[in-house]
Structure 1
Amino acid sequence: MILIIAILIIIIIFLFIRLFLIRRQVMGINEQIIDINRNKEDKKLTVGLINKELEELAKNINITLDLKKQCEIREIELQNDLRQTIANISHDLRTPLTSIIGYIQFLKLDNTSEEEKKEYLETAERRAKSLEVLLNDFYELSLIESLDYKINLEKVKFNRIIKEIVLGRYSDFINIGITPNIQILEEDVYIIAEHKSLERVIENLLSNAIRYAKDKISISLEIEESIAILKVSNNIRNLTNHDVEKVFDRFYMADKTRSGKGSGLGLAIVKGLVERMNGNIEADIVGDIFNIYCRFKIINI
């Protein structure tokens, strides 16, 4: 009887000590969380090897802290991106608006000839149209990036759409003195996409090539392991790997003075639409050749 009592006392003492240690660990975890939240430190919880459940709890809390840190970093990136976007919009709106206002002031001068007034009016109109393009592009991009943007996916003949758009833009190639190298599969290639969005993607890719090519443009459609790859290439001046990494960002231009012809939104719109259609888009530079690859999964008919 005495032995049983002694064993029970030992068990009670052991349980009491264990309970005390677990309580200390819980208090330690709580203090660590308070300290992390108060000091905004990038720290992890540390737990002694006493209770597996507490170890698992600390592990899950650390995962949550990591996710919280990632969200904070992402929020900072989004805020910086928003500030940069606002700055770019302000710059791109102010430049043509200032120009338009200036030409209107010239038109009001009494000593302005009719010929000069006509020239000023035409210039102001061109600047107004460039402003309209910028606003339309930004509005379209904001729609594409919104969570509730709807896209109507359907089976489309990829190669036919490419051929039609390339043919429609052929005069633009001729106007800049470039005969494009076109290699598009004759066999029918079907993918799941939205017809009008796919047309916009191809139009923007060709416009980008026409705008920045030195003297070479290539357009091809190939198949690799059930993937249709539209590749648009052009040679270009002074493009770096850093530029290629940023090329799909909103308002990004390799021309740091932002004095180019584009709005800096065309390729951002392309990326948004391609991803909405479950495709993939990448860019690279080989020598002086800038390449953009659009990949879509082929479907069997």
Structure 2
Amino acid sequence: MFKSIFSKLLSVYYLIILISFIILGTLLFSLLGDYVTSEREEVLRYTGEKINEITSVLIENNSPVVERLYRMNIESYGANTQSLIIVIDQTGEIFATSGYHYKSIEGQKLSKEQYGDVLLGKNIKKIGNFEGMFSQTVLTIGMPLKYNNEIVGGVFLNTPIPEINRVRYDVFKLFMISVSAAIFIAFILIFFLSKRISNPLKMINKAAKTIADGQFENRVLVTSKDEIGELAKTFNSMAESLQNLENMRRSFIANVSHELRTPMTTIQGFIEGIIDETIPQDKQNKYLTIVLDEIKRLSRLVNDLLDLAKMEAGEKQLDIREFDINELIRIAIIKFENRIMQKDIHINAHFEDEHCMVKADMDSIQRVVTNLLDNAIKFSDNKGVIDISVESKGNKVYVSIKDDGIGIDEQELKYIWDRFYKTDKSRSKDKTGTGLGLAIVKNIIHQHGQEIFVESKIEEYTKFTFTLQKA
């Protein structure tokens, strides 16, 4: 019966529902007195309005016959509502009553505490002995009598509520006893039941705390096959998703800082060249076109940054199409024209043919060429030489970018693809890099199912070569 967590909770729910109905029944019983009082109040107010109507008739047709009928109606209303009706005039003097035993009080006056608010035009509701008039608890409804919008007296309707306070206290005591018993029983049942399921939940709770501290490697080991076991599996799946999400988040932030820097620098250089007239006016349209292309690429980059993180998780879909890799390299060189001229670097481009069509994701390969060319310029000395070559071998195209800069130590070559790894520890050359460029390059090339190689000698050269599918 109690093999699954569902059956356990279901049993407890049945008990809780049963207890809840008992408590609700007690509450409803305790509220019954107020409900009856409210209903009685409505009846008395309605009767008071009727008395106001017949009082107006009495004033308009003041005669012994009408007055006798008036008193008869008062007695009839009193009998029907089981209440004592007292009608007073403007001075507080009792004009008529409905109770036979209270005829003797006619002609007497009510005190101001009894009639004051009513003769001021207010409706009143009181539960008590009506300022000592009655020996038992009564519900008193007082209403002003009006004729032509003037207060001509008041009517008080008094109906007994036998032992109402004592009944309420008794019901409240029963209510408290039943609630206490229900809480006690429910506590015992839930306590013993929770003991049987608390241990796995404690394990999940402990693992959740470690995850909250940023340790996403922890997993929960639960061997049960009930819903707790399913919860543990779901928890482990969630922890794995959070770990992947954290990795994607870190990659996202790092990629943003790296990927946006180069195009923004290019745009800034061309705009400054146009403003300070370094770029002739007849060439401004050419460079503004390049700036526009960079802005569009920035927009694409911003939209694709999340895709980059997904790409590292193997979820990024590449937009494979045919394009000219030679033309892409030419455009990349033009984008770095200012930096190339500043360092007086000579570019040697060796293309087997004027055009070389490849099949790849153009934006991604543009990112590869830009990163490699940026590194080549960065680590080249003034008046250095950068060799760029494109050659076909079978169904592949080999693209190489070689600089004659500081080179990379052989011991460091195996680490250059790691994130945040920087060969220039002193940052004498790489003042703005984040160590993500080559990691992004390798990721993109591998996503294409291609390869990338590196050759280097200290103080001589560094050469990166990657392959693409020939169109």
Give me the TM-score of the superposition, normalised by structure 2.
0.33
Query: How many residues of Structure 1 are paired with residues of Structure 2 in the alignment?
Result: 176
**Residues 1:293 and 2:465 are matched in the alignment:** yes
Write the distance in 1 (CA, Å) between the matches of 2:305 and 2:439. 10
181, 186, 193: which one aligns with 2:360: 193
Question: What corresponds to 1:225 in structure 2?
Answer: 394
Question: What corresponds to 1:270 in structure 2?
Answer: 441
Question: Could you list the per-position Cα deviations for residues 157-211 of structure 1 after superposition, in whole angstroms to 9, with x for gaps in the alignment?
Answer: 2222122222332232112221212212334322210111111111111111111
Q: 1:138 Cα shift? A: 8.7
Give the unaligned 5+ runs of structure 2: 1-242, 258-301
Write the distance in 2 (CA, Å) between the matches of 1:194 and 1:227. 15
Q: 1:139 Cα shift? A: 6.4
**Identical columns (%):** 23
RMSD: 3.4
Write the distance in 2 (CA, Å) between the matches of 1:243 and 1:222. 28
Name the CA shift for 1:164/1:238 in 2 (closer, same or farther; >3 Å).
Answer: closer
Give the unaligned 5+ runs of structure 1: 1-77, 93-135
Question: What corresponds to 2:412 in structure 1?
Answer: 243
Q: 1:238 Cα shift? A: 5.8
Q: Secondary structure at the match of 1:275?
A: helix
Question: What corresponds to 1:25 in structure 2?
Answer: none
Q: Secondary structure at the match of 2:438?
A: helix
Name the CA shift for 1:281/1:204 in 2 (closer, same or farther; >3 Å).
Answer: same
Question: Could you list the per-position Cα deviations for residues 204-233 of structure 1 after superposition, in whole angstroms to 9, with x for gaps in the alignment?
Answer: 111111111122211111122332111001
- The equivalences for 1:127-276 within 5 A come to 142-214=309-381, 215-237=384-406, 239-257=408-426, 260-276=431-447
Question: Could you list the per-position Cα deviations for residues 34-80 of structure 1 after superposition, in whole angstroms to 9, with x for gaps in the alignment?
Answer: xxxxxxxxxxxxxxxxxxxxxxxxxxxxxxxxxxxxxxxxxxxx9xx
Write the distance in 2 (CA, Å) between the matches of 1:185 and 1:202. 18
Name the CA shift for 1:144/1:187 in 2 (closer, same or farther; >3 Å).
Answer: same
Q: Which moved more, 1:161-170 or 1:172-181?
A: 161-170
Q: 1:297 is aligned with what amino acid? A: Q
Question: What corresponds to 2:239 in structure 1?
Answer: none
Q: 1:290 is aligned with what amino acid? A: T
Question: What corresponds to 2:186 in structure 1?
Answer: none
Write the distance in 2 (CA, Å) between the matches of 1:256 and 1:172. 22
- The equivalences for 1:7-86 within 5 A come to none
Q: 1:246 Cα shift? A: 1.7
Contact 2:307 2:316 in 1 (8 A): no
Write the distance in 2 (CA, Å) between the matches of 1:290 and 1:220. 14
Greater radius of gyration (CA) = 2
Question: Could you list the per-position Cα deviations for residues 250-288 of structure 1 after superposition, in whole angstroms to 9, with x for gaps in the alignment?
Answer: 111112356733111111111111111222111111461
Q: 2:370 is aligned with what amino acid? A: E
Contact 1:211 1:261 in 2 (8 A): no
Question: Could you list the per-position Cα deviations for residues 117-165 of structure 1 after superposition, in whole angstroms to 9, with x for gaps in the alignment?
Answer: xxxxxxxxxxxxxxxxxxx899675333023212111122222212222
- Tell me which of the two structures has the higher relative contact order, counting C-alpha pairs closer than 8 angstroms and 6 or more residues apart: 1
- The equivalences for 1:67-146 within 5 A come to 142-146=309-313
Question: Could you list the per-position Cα deviations for residues 83-102 of structure 1 after superposition, in whole angstroms to 9, with x for gaps in the alignment?
Answer: xx89xx7xx9xxxxxxxxxx
Name the CA shift for 1:166/1:189 in 2 (closer, same or farther; >3 Å).
Answer: same
